[in-house]
Structure 1
Amino acid sequence: MTGHLQFEVRAANADDARAVAESRAQVAAEGRWILAEPPVDIDAAMEVFRRVLDDDTAHVVVAVDAADRFIGMASGFDQHPGPVTFGMHVLAEHRRQGVGSALLQSILTWSRERGTHKVVLEVWPHNHAAIGLYERHGFVREGLRPRQYRRRNGELWDIVEMGLELV
């Protein structure tokens, strides 16, 4: 933890479904940081989250503040024999306070415990804060996929691929 924010990272559970879905919708509404775009179907997102919790190849953690309010989440999926794929989001008011680093560290620890050889992720090229976070944890840029994702407005956005070898 850094700054004045006190929080903990813990394993996600089914009771977190609504907070995770609503936070996904909130971050999606910013239109810049995650693949999802509004409107996010909260009920559908809750159902997907619950299914992921039942997946033994997935690791899902949430960050909560001292009052147990949701502030961020991360998920990793073991693609054995391939790498773990990773994604996360943090609510805007809690960014740059160590939450993303703590969530990422949980995914890396889980990945190492599973004997995974590599963790990979995708990030928008304009998300300089996230790219910096990943680089501080040892991730390297492995490629750029031009015009990889079509946004609802028709724009085609590039994606940066990043990876961290664990063994």
Structure 2
Amino acid sequence: MSKIFKSSRVVLDDKAFVLSAKLNEHISPDEIIEMAATEGLKPSEAATQLIETAKHEANRILEEADFEYEQKLANAQSSSDAIVSHAYDQAKGIMEQAKAEGYQDGYNSGIEDSREIAKQIVDEALSIKEEWAQMRQEIMKDTETEMVRIVIDAIEKILD
């Protein structure tokens, strides 16, 4: 049994086409002679006319197929351009978001580092102030004792 199915219906994508019944007909030589007689032609002229008609039909079908091919190719190109453009826009958005997040992370890290450094400077300043206050107290204590001794020495000299 043959695996060839004969049908006048062709389905491409979602569209169905019905081919002309002439494509599936087989014309016998007797039919060509009869056709030639009714049209007043020689059998060879009738056969040539049938062949020309078949060629025109074949060319028309090829032109339709080429036109559909060009349309589908243009649609595919348009779709691919749209997809690439959309992907580019998404990538650009992701890059801008990552840049903003990186900037914010860097900014926050810089603020935190600055606060840590400022805290160290303030702690060091307080430590220096405390040392200076202790040294001042010691100097005042030493100076007070020495001033008392100088005053006592001066009074003794005045009284002597």
**Bin for the TM-score computed over the shorter chain:** under 0.3
The TM-score with structure 2 as length reference comes to: 0.17
Answer 1 or 2: which has greater helix percent: 2
Answer 1 or 2: which has greater strand percent: 1
Compare relative contact order (CA 8 Å, sep 6+) and give the higher one, 1 or 2. Answer: 1
Q: Over alpha carbons, which structure has the higher Rg?
A: 2
The TM-score with structure 1 as length reference comes to: 0.17
